Structure 1
Amino acid sequence: MGVANKAYKFRIFPTKEQEDFLVRTFGCVRFVYNKMLAERKETYEKYKDNKALLRKQKFPTPAKYKKEFEWLKEVDSLALANAQLNLQRAFSNFFLGKTKYPKFKNRKSKQSYTTNMVTGNIKILAGHIKLPKLTPLRMKQHREIPSHHVIKSCTVSRSATGKYHVSILTEYEHNPVKKEINHVVGLDFAMDGLFVESEEGKKAYYPRFYRQAEGKLAKEQRKMSNMMNGSSRWKKQRIKVAKLHERVANQRKNFLHQESRKLANRYDCVVIENLDMKGMSKAFRFGKSVADNGWGMFTTFLRYKLDEQGKQLIKIDKWFPSSKTCSACGHMHAALHLSERTFNCDCGFVIDRDWNAAINIKNEGRLILDLS
């Protein structure tokens, strides 16, 4: 049997005493992370010209600081241990060339900490969750965690609006029966509507939540810029702006979950292009529109929803000329401007440009799958 992971995120409502403990833990985790990073930075500067010696250097551990800083003993030791693992992961990614050199964390960074399940120290009770060194926290559990899922760790976080959440990572045996591929669909990314399906040219009709809220956001941000930074009025206004951003993010996520679920239930295989969204946003100056659509998040949701059912997501090469090729006769048009939204071929075939591209993406996917 294969092993898979799944996370469940729930809202928690700490009391004043519990909130104080969570805030202290966030601070301790940040403090230890920065201390270890400072030491690693010194080591890196010393041995950066000798990679072999640099790799042999040991990471400092949180235990090293507990004698000097007694208050570190008050919080969950597993949270501090995970800070060390996160730093090690950050350096590994840096040496592999995946990310930039790790940065120091400050109070504006994401406020969170992770603790692990060790000998039953995490328990889910009726409407509550028990975490190490904390009395049971009230939790709004809107969905059940299956009994065969084993809790591995929990990440407690605080949003910019002051809301607390716990993300429960579980592990379970997963061996889905591979689905026979009968229904295939191609999706072409659309700036104005998320995607266009190859089947009848259906569009997702993405509501563009950020664009809808942009005027209100600008107005509230102007108000905040005219206030004294750090004043009580500024803090209230900051939360107001954060709530608007949070609402947009939640609307987007909800929409993407719904659309990806529809596709995963309807088709056995979904074919998309392997797009570089960051590059597209810079090249075509569509940064806001690309970020608003959340195509990367959508494809992540789509992949795991298909995997759960033994179905497939196929990504074809981003240089495949899906927009320039006629889906009827196969002739490729060398020049096709972005402003041309209707595809006209010499063979007489006339179709919406994005729909034509979606059909070509589907056909390319079928070739990869070796389907007649």
Structure 2
Amino acid sequence: MGWGQDSAVAGRGGCLVNTVLQAYRFALDPTPTQEEALRSHCGAQRFTYNWGLAVVKANLDQRAAERSYGIADADLTAAVDWSAYSLRKHWNQIKNETAPWWAENSKEAYSSGMANLAAALSNWSTSRSRTRKGRRVGFPRFKGKRSALSCRFSTGAFGLADSDRRHVRLPRIGIVRTHESTRKLARRVDAGTARIRSATVSFRRGRWFVSFSVQVQRTSPAPVPRATAAPSVVGVDLGVKTLAVLSTGEMIENPKHLEHAQKKLRRLNRQAARRVGWDKRTGQQPSSRWLHTQDRVAKLLAYVADARRDGLHKLSTRLVRTHDVVVLEDLNVAGMLRTRSLARHIAGVGMGEVRRQSVYKAGWQGTTVHIADRWYPSSKTCSACGEVKAKLSLKKRVFKCDCGLRMDRDLNAARNLAALVQASSPSCGATVNEPDGTPRKARTVRAAGIATGRLTPRVSQGRGREVPAQGTDFHIP
């Protein structure tokens, strides 16, 4: 479920009415005819994506070949404009010759494929020019028939059906029954506090889904005056053995959904290995028994993912509703997954999902989410005296300090995170965003004996610029 703030106006009783973008996803129960139509639309989206990519790639290859012969840039073949509007205009000119069957599907299926291609090319271009943050993005690849099925509708007759709250309407496909009730969204639409902007159908783990992008008006509670009520601050330390340890002393056990499903998952994988599957080298088609086993694997993984997502939603909702300030760590989850011995256990926790859900839900509740610096030694710092240990191995689960403190290492880290905000922000609810840490640059020298996480800035060697030394606050007024 994603969201984005558009505006905020004052409501009754001092409450704030925020206009956010929220996703509502429902499982579908289509008929065989409707499922065939859904696959046709997703195939049309893939077809236009590959068509546009072939046009752009041929143009780039032609220009590269001309450069190799010493032709000046001014005399090269004109570059193809890969914006979604230009690709759509080109498609309308050649669609009758290239795809005479295009009228069988909604025009939105073709438009969504070109929009996805334009976004992929833009990400590649900005990443290549070093104007895009994060990991390098490669050139888009062609999509095969086994790629994920999805299609987006932004115009046409789509939304909730008028008959009851168990059906949705999709362009050219008609009214499709949902596996679950749509009453939560229907009530908002009927009250005039929600407007459906787009619909995306997708096939995931053996089931069809429809996701509505909805513009919702949410009423946040009135903020409590800081002069009369002390803010509630909680530090959250995420882990593998324990899902989360709060600075209040509460420990939330890790349900380990993926670990409990490993026995059945291994048995199904061994069963699939004994049957005839895909073979790209020889063109071997899979047997019906192999496909049946893969469906069972998909259902098992879907159960694990749904159970994990449900638990994380309950955790993040409780955090933002019961506390004024939530402090989380900026964990390098992608780097942690490179550890072979812990990769599966870390992936089964969903640490990044806790942060994502807490950030957008904090905007609904008027809560502040503080992200501590990635290099802040929360586990190595004593929460009583502030001494920072040089080394602390992962197998040591009890933190011991010369000052006499003896405490669970995760609880000690959670208390350090809570003290980090209390020490760095006197109001304990600062609304001014602080710059992100710089995990990709050289580390900086830390001030010893403090528990605030502040860094002593210094000029990085070979770079000639200072490294910021603060964390990041996400606060939606």
TM-score range, shorter chain: over 0.9
Is residue 293 of structure 1 aligned with residue 326 of structure 2? no
Give the distance between the partners of 1:177 and 1:56, measured in 2 at CA.
53
Is residue 197 of structure 1 aligned with residue 224 of structure 2? no
What secondary structure, in the 3-state scheme, does the structure 2 residue paired with 1:293 have? coil
Is the CA contact 1:179–1:309 (under 8 Å) kept in the aligned structure 2?
no
Is residue 207 of structure 1 aligned with residue 255 of structure 2? yes
Is the CA contact 1:179–1:268 (under 8 Å) kept in the aligned structure 2?
no
Range with greater deviation from structure 2 (316-325 or 170-179): 170-179
Structure-2 residue corresponding to 1:159: 204
Task: Pick the aligned partner of 1:105 from 111, 131, 143.
Answer: 143
Task: Pick the aligned partner of 2:117 from 87, 90, 93.
Answer: 87
Q: CA deviation at 1:14?
A: 1.4
Question: What residue ranges of structure 2 are gaps of 5+ in the alignment?
Answer: 1-6, 9-18, 128-133, 278-285, 429-477
- Corresponding letter in the other structure for 1:108: R
- Corresponding letter in the other structure for 1:32: T
More contact order relative to length (CA 8 Å, sep ≥ 6): 1
What secondary structure, in the 3-state scheme, does the structure 1 residue paired with 2:384 have? coil
Distance 1:366 1:8, change over 3 A: same
Give the distance between the partners of 1:54 and 1:212, measured in 2 at CA.
59
Equivalent runs, 1:158-177 vs 2, <5 Å: 158-161=203-206, 163-173=207-217, 176=220
Structure-1 residue corresponding to 2:269: 221
Is residue 124 of structure 1 aligned with residue 161 of structure 2? yes
Equivalent runs, 1:24-43 vs 2, <5 Å: 24-43=40-59
What secondary structure, in the 3-state scheme, does the structure 2 residue paired with 1:346 have? coil
Is the CA contact 1:11–1:141 (under 8 Å) kept in the aligned structure 2?
no
Task: Pick the aligned partner of 1:67 from 96, 121, 129.
Answer: 96
Equivalent runs, 1:177-326 vs 2, <5 Å: 179-180=223-224, 182-200=231-249, 202-229=250-277, 230-283=286-339, 285-326=341-382
Is residue 341 of structure 1 aligned with residue 397 of structure 2? yes
Q: CA deviation at 1:93?
A: 1.6
Task: Pick the aligned partner of 2:412 from 340, 356, 369.
Answer: 356
Give the distance between the partners of 1:51 and 1:347, measured in 2 at CA.
70
- Corresponding letter in the other structure for 2:243: L
Is the CA contact 2:59–2:79 (under 8 Å) kept in the aligned structure 1?
no
Residues 313-357 of structure 1: CA deviation (Å, up to 9, x unaligned)? 111101001111110011111121111111110111111111101
Give the distance between the partners of 1:166 and 1:51, measured in 2 at CA.
47
Q: CA deviation at 1:124?
A: 3.1
Distance 1:47 1:141, change over 3 A: farther
- Corresponding letter in the other structure for 2:212: I
Across the aligned residues of Structure 1 and Structure 2, the Cα RMSD in angstroms comes to: 2.4
Distance 1:300 1:143, change over 3 A: farther
Distance 1:26 1:359, change over 3 A: same
Give the distance between the partners of 2:141 and 2:50, measured in 1 at CA.
9
Give the distance between the partners of 1:289 and 1:64, measured in 2 at CA.
52
Is the CA contact 1:158–1:164 (under 8 Å) kept in the aligned structure 2?
yes
Give the distance between the partners of 1:304 and 1:186, measured in 2 at CA.
18
Give the distance between the partners of 2:262 and 2:202, measured in 1 at CA.
27
Residues 263-295 of structure 1: CA deviation (Å, up to 9, x unaligned)? 121111110111110101214742101110011
Give the distance between the partners of 2:158 and 2:253, measured in 1 at CA.
46
- Corresponding letter in the other structure for 2:57: K
- Corresponding letter in the other structure for 1:63: N
What secondary structure, in the 3-state scheme, does the structure 1 residue paired with 2:28 have? strand
Range with greater deviation from structure 2 (279-288 or 267-276): 279-288
Distance 1:352 1:92, change over 3 A: same
Question: What residue ranges of structure 1 are gaps of 5+ in the alignment?
Answer: none
Is the CA contact 2:60–2:79 (under 8 Å) kept in the aligned structure 1?
no
Is the CA contact 1:178–1:311 (under 8 Å) kept in the aligned structure 2?
no
- Corresponding letter in the other structure for 2:92: A
Give the distance between the partners of 1:108 and 1:203, measured in 2 at CA.
42
Is the CA contact 2:400–2:406 (under 8 Å) kept in the aligned structure 1?
yes
Q: CA deviation at 1:96?
A: 2.4
Task: Pick the aligned partner of 1:8 from 8, 20, 24.
Answer: 24
Give the distance between the partners of 1:47 and 1:82, measured in 2 at CA.
28
Residues 30-78 of structure 1: CA deviation (Å, up to 9, x unaligned)? 1111111122222333457899999963123342442121112211111
Give the distance between the partners of 2:423 and 2:265, measured in 1 at CA.
46
Residues 73-124 of structure 1: CA deviation (Å, up to 9, x unaligned)? 2111112112111111111222222522222212222111000145x55443
Is residue 58 of structure 1 aligned with residue 81 of structure 2? yes
Is residue 329 of structure 1 aligned with residue 385 of structure 2? yes
What secondary structure, in the 3-state scheme, does the structure 2 residue paired with 1:322 have? coil
Give the distance between the partners of 1:164 and 1:310, measured in 2 at CA.
35
Distance 1:56 1:309, change over 3 A: farther
Q: CA deviation at 1:193?
A: 1.9
Distance 1:274 1:56, change over 3 A: farther
Give the distance between the partners of 1:113 and 1:247, measured in 2 at CA.
24
Give the distance between the partners of 1:194 and 1:103, measured in 2 at CA.
37
